[in-house]
Chain A
Amino acid sequence: MFYSRRSFLHRLTSGLLVSALGLLQPLAAAAAKWNRAAFEAGKVEAAIAAVGASDASPSDNIVIKAPEIAENGAQVPIEITSNIPGTEAILIFSDKNVQPYVGTFEFKNGAEPFIATRIKMGDTSNLRAYVRANGKYYVKVREVKVTIGGCGA
């Protein structure tokens, strides 16, 4: 089969254009960051290491409000306030969850370093609130008792 040179060039450039457009997709997805290594860690120490917070200093300038006993582990209400100057983010871990890293909240452009939310806790365990302030980590730990675990059936 004969392809003229013109049609060959046309096919070549169309092919290149299609694969170039294909490359744009993964770049867009990577823009919203999500720390897979931290989220998939099964041990809390590994999850903390994966976010780079292993050498956090304990701080009483982080205030955790959480129930002493959570009746429903699937909906544990927590409030975390950081009084540490320069707070950039609050990170949450629940030690006994299958994957202890629950998430990060980053504050920008006037947002106050405070978050109220609800999380799942699989069992009675430590709830850890890490704060990243000026690139350094601080931590407050608090036990929450859970009567009915929240992660599975």
Chain B
Amino acid sequence: MRVRLNGDVAEIRALLEHPMETGLRKDPATDELIPLHFIKTVIVKLNGKPVLETEWAQAMARNPYIQFRVRGAKPDDEVTIEWEDNEGQHSEASAKVPPPE
């Protein structure tokens, strides 16, 4: 996750690590279908308040990239990104808003 601050707007870029398998792809080694496995929901919070909430299909790209902006941010604010996938797996990452550029 990279966070930049311009004035009071935090620009957040994140690359979430996940195979985002569609269930339609065959494993070349075994010729078997790789099961559906994808992130369903993402919640991004700034200082504990939700700013971005998503519902996703397996059609989001592998290792999904997201870039968005939040107004009203200050240095040292905490950004957290949590996701949950269709197998019930969770992940969470966090970063602080840096000083303004």
B23 CB → nearest A CB, Å: 10
Q: Report B-chain residues with C-beta under 8 Å of the C-beta of A66.
A: none
Q: How many residues of A contact B (CB 8 A)?
A: 36
Q: Is B2 part of the contact surface with A, judged by Cβ < 8 Å?
A: no
List B residues 1-32 near A (Cβ within 8 Å). Answer: 9, 20, 22, 24-26
| Most chain A CB inside 10 Å of its own CB: which residue of B25, B54, B61, B73 | B61
**A98 with B60: CB separation less than 8 A:** no
**B51 with A103: CB separation less than 8 A:** no
Q: Chain B interface mostly helix, strand, loop or mixed?
A: strand
Give the residue name and chain of the A residue nearest to B49 (CB). A109
Complex partner residue of A34 from B22, B55, B69, CB under 8 angstroms: B55
Interface size class of B (residues with CB under 8 A): 35 or more
**A106 with B53: CB separation less than 8 A:** yes
Q: Is B57 part of the contact surface with A, judged by Cβ < 8 Å?
A: yes
| Most chain B CB inside 10 Å of its own CB: which residue of A75, A117, A151 | A117
Q: Report A-chain residues with C-beta under 8 Å of the C-beta of B49.
A: 108-109
**B41 with A32: CB separation less than 8 A:** yes
A87 CB → nearest B CB, Å: 12
**A39 with B57: CB separation less than 8 A:** yes
Determine the distance from Cα of A94 to Cα of B24 in the docked complex, in whole angstroms: 17
**B61 with A74: CB separation less than 8 A:** yes
Q: Report A-chain residues with C-beta under 8 Å of the C-beta of B52.
A: 105-108, 111
Q: Is B78 part of the contact surface with A, judged by Cβ < 8 Å?
A: no
Q: Which residues of A contact B (CB under 8 A)?
A: 32-35, 39, 74-76, 94, 97-99, 101-112, 114-121, 150-153
Q: Which residues of B contact A (CB under 8 A)?
A: 9, 20, 22, 24-26, 40-41, 43, 46, 49-62, 64-73, 84
Name 16 interchain pairs, CB-CB below 8 A, sorted by A. A32-B84, A39-B55, A39-B57, A98-B22, A105-B54, A108-B51, A109-B46, A109-B51, A111-B71, A112-B70, A114-B68, A116-B66, A118-B65, A120-B59, A152-B22, A153-B24
Besides A119-B60, A119-B61, A152-B24, 11 other CB < 8 A contacts? A74-B61, A102-B59, A102-B60, A106-B53, A108-B51, A110-B51, A111-B71, A120-B20, A120-B60, A151-B22, A151-B24
Kindly list the 7 A-B residue pairs having the minimum CB-CB distance in the complex, ordered from nearest.
Answer: A118-B61, A116-B67, A110-B72, A103-B56, A152-B24, A111-B51, A110-B71
